[in-house]
Structure 1
Amino acid sequence: MRVAIVHYWLVSMRGGEKVIEALCDLYPEADIFTLVYDEARVSDTIKKHKVTSSFLQRVPGAIGHYQSLLPLMPFALESLDLSGYDLIISSESGPAKGIIPPPHAAHICYCHSPMRYLWDHYHAYRSSAGMLSRMMMPVLAPMLRTWDVNTSLRVDRFIANSHHVAARISKYYRRPATVVYPPVGIEDFSPSAEVEDFYLCAGQIVSYKRIDLAVEAFTKMGKNLVVIGGGKEQDIARLKRMAGPTITFLGRAPFAVLKEKLAKCRAFVFPGEEDFGIVPVEAMASGRPVVAYGSGGAVETIVPGLTGVLFENQTVEGLIKAIYAFEAREDSFRPDVIRTHAAQFSVRRFRSGIQSVVEEELRLRRSMPFADGKYALAGFTTHDADSLAPLH
């Protein structure tokens, strides 16, 4: 069976690329297709596979500014030739599912989210975009939404990375989805015997993650907050302008630094709404509780009172109230219990879930009439098919 893995773009190693790594381990002979590819910024696991990029790779500056090429992405995806592949697994968020699968192939889409900038986060993205993008988005977005919905029909089976995303798939594509949580390298993290007097906020610095809430809240409280993550210079500069002396920015820290800070923080702070949220699970794998906004994937990974605290109002005041509520019972959180809870989101669980869905889909296809050119239902064989008289 020839397997193809399709990912929106391979230019860094974040949550989506960790999914690709796990799929590469499941299917070591699979070929990878992507819109743009920066070999220097992906893992050795991915580099071992044959990677084919689209014609966007040849556009000057595409690797650094791929997101500005969104109007060309449908054409680029449909130009990828997947003839001869029997199983196609697309990793969707960017887009990726819009490839043209051959008729005989099973196309399974692992959906991190329907494209946020076209759907539920459209207005937030537009308001924070530059002048040209703000002008063009109302013109281009309706056409891209139509293409996005139409290409959902090219998918045989959807897998969502959370129930939160499954609800979006149902809303925008009118398709059901099986939930398989993404792989988290639980074994890469461990609790520390020493906990220091600081809270931690980590992740890509973009507006929807609401790191600004944490910076403002901890500045008001005068409590120590460490922020790890990179982003656009103007976004980082804005956060630094509002930050008081208790806020420390470490930028894009090495993994060793992130691992240490996750294990030694009083709690991990997660003020945004995420589709799943891998870093909070990494914090729990480090034995540390999480203070999170009670929406999105956080409500599926955090157990209030056992592994963290959820707050309802996504405001500075709501976060401050949650921090004080956490501190009132801080000693009741047990690192061993928190880490045990995180284990259910392991790489092994992810692989098992993916294998189960793939095997079920392949069994279903084998039972369909005309599968592989044969009658496969009701006990028909190829010879039975040849003997059937046409119906008039």
Structure 2
Amino acid sequence: MSLLPALETPRQKADFMRVAIVHHWFVGYRGGEKVIENMLELYPDADLFTLFWEPDKLPEVFRRRKVTTSFLNRFSIFKRNHRLALPLMPLALEQLDVRGYDLVISSESGPAKAVLADPEAVHICYINSPMRYIWDMYHEYRQSMGWLQRMFFTPLAHYLRRWDRSTSMGVDHFVANSSFVAKRVHRCYHRDSTVVHPPVDMDMFAPSGKNGDYFFAIAEMVPYKRMDLAVQAFRGLDAKLKMAGSGPDLGKLRAMAPPNVEFLGRVDDDRLRTLYAEARAFIFPGKEDFGITPLEANASGTPVIAYRAGGILDTQTDETAVFFDEQTPEAVAAAVRTFMEREGGFSADALRANAARFSRDEFKRRFKAVVDGVF
């Protein structure tokens, strides 16, 4: 009998390790937080690290974790407006102490990958998007600012781009949430990445068997979501549009809306399920990094009308959606009319089967395979 200790296999190491999950901020429960929720099912003993932490806005699965926050979390002015803390975020992230962890998972559409992991640790970055406001949407954000904000933001963004690219060198492996984001990761950081799509909750959404008389859209009311296109497109259409969500553009959208567009504000889960399931189709006019809402519509048995660009090309085909190729109200309206002509040609079972390709179990299987492969 050998007295030598058994060698630890890579799979054993991946199963028995200390895990830190770093998320840019926990201030709500949206797509990024739902991805983290699934990671926590894979790694139930993982500790959380973040710039900002608002536990009252999160489910219990987050609140019972060990959480380490940055010094920025102590200042109410930064918690009210995260953008004001932008110049201090590099310093704050680098002070989060993730020493002693075997696996560091950073989750970001911001700067979370800047944490300083041990040399022996594996750092995997699950990236929803490189920071939009300093990369591909820099000019849109800059033009929306007043002259004083622009004066400070222009040199700051130049510095942040250099810093953001330098921090990518501390990542061992990038995991992108779509093919679209993988291309942007390569362009911004000159790094390859594995695509693992975010999960849709198939248990939450289901067809209802009832057919409503309206089209549906839900989004945060901010410029890049392009909800203005949907509002303007329904001016002159003999159809109703219901829009859920809130945000800084809501007042402007209400002011331009025709009578057949109804704003619902924030809706609870029960009403959201009904809105998806009974809608004639789901309207998705923006260019998104991934876009989970079209899959939630599919899981509800509802087809999609979408702009043919961005992450949605990973999830929708001509069998599940009607596409338009220009971001204009006229193009959206034409797509709605095309949908009306072929409305009976969509199968709720086929739509739900499409969504099932992006289930929670599938996400966990694919993400764990990446981690095990790196180890």
Is the TM-score greater than 0.5?
A: yes
Counterpart Cα distance in 1 of 2:76 and 2:204: 37
In structure 1, the partner of 2:9 is none
SS of 2:113's partner is coil
Unmatched segments (≥5 aa) in structure 1: 363-392
Counterpart Cα distance in 2 of 1:112 and 1:133: 26
In structure 1, the partner of 2:121 is 105
In structure 1, the partner of 2:269 is 255
Counterpart Cα distance in 2 of 1:17 and 1:342: 19
% identical aligned pairs: 48
In structure 1, the partner of 2:139 is 123
Amino acid in structure 2 at the alignment position of 1:109: C
Counterpart Cα distance in 1 of 2:112 and 2:236: 42
Deviation at residue 222 of structure 1 after TM alignment: 4.2
In structure 1, the partner of 2:369 is 356
In structure 2, the partner of 1:10 is 26
Q: Does 1:221 find its partner at 2:237?
A: yes
Counterpart Cα distance in 1 of 2:144 and 2:217: 22
Amino acid in structure 2 at the alignment position of 1:250: L
Counterpart Cα distance in 2 of 1:22 and 1:177: 20
Amino acid in structure 1 at the alignment position of 2:368: Q
In structure 2, the partner of 1:204 is 220
After TM superposition, the structure 1 = structure 2 runs for residues 1-392 of structure 1, keeping only pairs within 5 Å, are 1-232=17-248, 235-304=249-318, 306-362=319-375
Deviation at residue 39 of structure 1 after TM alignment: 0.7
Deviation at residue 220 of structure 1 after TM alignment: 2.8
TM-score (norm 1): 0.90
Task: Please tell me whether the aligned partners of residues 20 and 46 of structure 1 are also in contact (alpha carbons under 8 angstroms).
Answer: no
Deviation digits for residues 277-308 of structure 1, max 9, x if unmatched? 0011000000000000000011111111x111
Alignment: residue pair count: 359
Counterpart Cα distance in 2 of 1:183 and 1:15: 9
Deviation at residue 255 of structure 1 after TM alignment: 1.3
SS of 2:149's partner is helix
Deviation at residue 67 of structure 1 after TM alignment: 2.3
Amino acid in structure 1 at the alignment position of 2:138: Y
Counterpart Cα distance in 2 of 1:87 and 1:251: 40
Segment drifting more, 220-229 vs 104-113 = 220-229
Deviation digits for residues 128-174 of structure 1, max 9, x if unmatched? 23443222221100100000000000000000000000000010100
Counterpart Cα distance in 1 of 2:204 and 2:76: 37
Task: Please tell me whether the aligned partners of residues 160 and 177 of structure 1 are also in contact (alpha carbons under 8 angstroms).
Answer: yes
* Displacement over 6 Å in runs of 4+: none
Counterpart Cα distance in 2 of 1:93 and 1:51: 20
Amino acid in structure 2 at the alignment position of 1:330: E
Amino acid in structure 1 at the alignment position of 2:271: V
In structure 1, the partner of 2:4 is none
